[in-house]
Amino acid sequence: MKIGNSKVLVLIVFISACSPQRSDDPVPFFPFLDIVINLNFPEFISLRSDGGYVQVNGGVRGIIVYRANSSTYLAYERNCSFRPNEACATVNIHTSGLFMIDPCCNSNFNFSDGNPSGGPAWRPLAQYRTQLSGLTLTISSEVIN
């Protein structure tokens, strides 16, 4: 059976119209020198408790540091993964302290893995490598996801 060119074109247009649109700008990357945090310093006291978080300078738009437990600290880029080149694409911590949110596109992100949990974002936030040694936390610009 032979299918005409116009029928194939219609089929391709129909299939592409039904697939989700997952294209937008690539997430920028800006390497930085290691960030060293002394957990004894008063500005980082919230990182001494599970679920604690702070925002620090580094990366493209800053970094959110989150303590999952006494040995696990997660560091996420504040540059939203959805349309990251827009001026307002900056992730903050929601007032509840339970997740991260980009007020520009209304995407929500989990603290546990940086994955989107609502809104148009479909990629996770960039996660940087962390290393804990005693009471010193080091964040490197190596993206691990």
| Sheet strands side by side (includes 116-118) | 92-93, 100-102, 107-109, 116-118
The dihedral over CA atoms of 68, 73, 75, 80, expressed in degrees to the nearest 10, equals -10
What is the mean predicted confidence (pLDDT) over 92-105? 95
pTM: 0.83
pLDDT at 26: 86
In whole angstroms, how far apart are CA 8 and each of 1, 4, 19, 21?
13, 7, 17, 21
Q: What is the pLDDT of residue 98?
A: 94
Tell me, yes or no, whether 6 lies in a domain: no
* Phi, psi of 132, deg, nearest 5: -105, 130
| Number of domain units in the chain | 1
Confidence check: pLDDT of 54 > 50: yes
Tell me 7's DSSP state: H
Tokens of 36: 């060293």
Has residue 16 been placed in a domain? no
Q: Which domain holds residue 56?
A: 24-143
In a domain, 54, yes or no: yes
What is the CATH number for 92?
A: 2.102.10.10
DSSP-derived secondary structure for 15-73: HHHHS-----PPPP----PPEEEETTSGGGGGGGSTT-EEEES-TTT-EEEEEEETTEE
CA 100 to each of CA 37, 97, 108: distance values in angstroms, whole numbers, following the listed order: 21, 8, 6
pLDDT computed for residue 93 by the predictor? 96
d(CA 69, CA 72): 5
Residue 42 lies in a domain: yes
Return the pLDDT at 11. 40
- Distance, CA of 86 to CA of 17 (rounded, Å): 25
pLDDT band for position 88 (50/70/90)? very high
